[in-house]
Amino acid sequence: MPGIFRAAVLCCCLALSTVHADDRIEEALSGTFHVFGENSSATGFIVQVKDQNVLVTAEHVFAKMRGEECKLALREKTPEGFARREHAVRIRNGKDNLWQKHPQQDLAAIRVELPAGVVVIPYQFSQLADEPAFEQKKVRVAQEVWIPCYPAQVEANRVGWPVLRRGNIASHPLAPLKASPTFLVDFNTFGGDSGAPVLVHQSASASGPGEDNPLLIGVVLGMIRQTDKSQMPFEERTVHTPLGISIVANSQQVREIVQKVASP
């Protein structure tokens, strides 16, 4: 009987930990947005640092976009639930780009002013995994990850919430970060996933303030695919087959670009 009682208590504690962790992932969705404009559609997220809101996405998202503005699909609370609220962000001034590009990676960041009334829980800078997190194997191969994103421009609903997807870290080793600026995640990537944050649950035993928040470990940049070419007398054909593997820039580089943008 005592053994059965202990097992029951353990199962109950695990269930509560899972619910609490899932609540934190749910909160993370409110910091992730559909970023779109003419000729470009992707995913972005807000990081708050020094009382500033910094929008992060893949650099090619802004580079491909035509015009001087992009739009964010924000959400605001209403008596009926949530309503969509699109918000314009200026990314160019004539021919001058207003975003900052990471010197080595396909990452971009820009300061944004969010309108009053929107439901946003930004990622805190402390949630961006640093090099010790990788070295201490808080982030490691086979670990389950969560990716809020907008695959093929799909939104989870009319309000514009992201689609939450799941995968596993497929690369080893992950440290040192200078030797491994990118790593692989085993999940099917589509156009529109670029710029999506990659998240892991932190330890359920964390007790410090904010330590149970999801850890942001990287940003989706693209996919790996196999390319096959065939040639016949009157036809040439190229077939690209996605391998279901995503290329992710590690979070240390996100920390670098966010700090650069947030600096006075």
Nearest alpha-carbon partner for 118 in 50, 64, 46, 65: 46
pLDDT of residue 101: 96
pLDDT at site 203: 55
- Tell me, what CATH number does 192's domain have? 2.40.10.120
- CA atoms within a 13 Å half-sphere pointing along the CA-CB vector of 102: 25
Please give the model's pTM, rounded to 2 decimal places: 0.86
Q: How far apart are CA 76 and CA 97, in angstroms?
A: 29
Query: Measuring CA to CA, how many Å separate 256 from each of 104, 165, 173?
Result: 11, 26, 21
Q: Average pLDDT over the chain, rounded to whole?
A: 87
Domain limits at 149? 2-262
pLDDT of residue 263: 75
Q: Is 128 within 8 Å of 250 (Cβ atoms)?
A: no
pLDDT value for 253:
95
In the three-class reduction of DSSP (H, G, I as helix; E, B as strand; rest coil), residue 261 is classed as helix
3-state helix, strand, coil in the chain (%, to 5): 20, 45, 35
Residues facing residue 86 across a β-bridge: 73
Q: Which residues of the chain have pLDDT under 70?
A: 1-21, 203-211, 264
Is 22 strand, coil or helix? helix
Could you give the CA distance from residue 210 to residue 230 in angstroms, rounded to a whole number? 54
What does the pLDDT read at residue 155?
94
Could you tell me if residue 254 is left (phi over 0), alpha (psi between -120 and 50 degrees) or otherwise beta?
alpha
Residue found by looking up tokens 């969509």 in the block: 84
Query: Distance between the two ends of the chain, CA-based, in angstroms?
Result: 64
Q: Calculate the alpha carbon distances from 86 to 34, 35, 74, 75, 164 in Å.
A: 10, 10, 6, 8, 20
> What is the model's pLDDT at position 10?
42
CA 151 to chain centre: 12
Q: What are the backbone angles phi and psi of residue 60, rounded to the nearest 5°? A: -65, -20
The tens digit of pLDDT for each residue in 44-96 reads 999 999 889 999 999 999 999 999 999 999 999 998 889 999 999 999 999 89
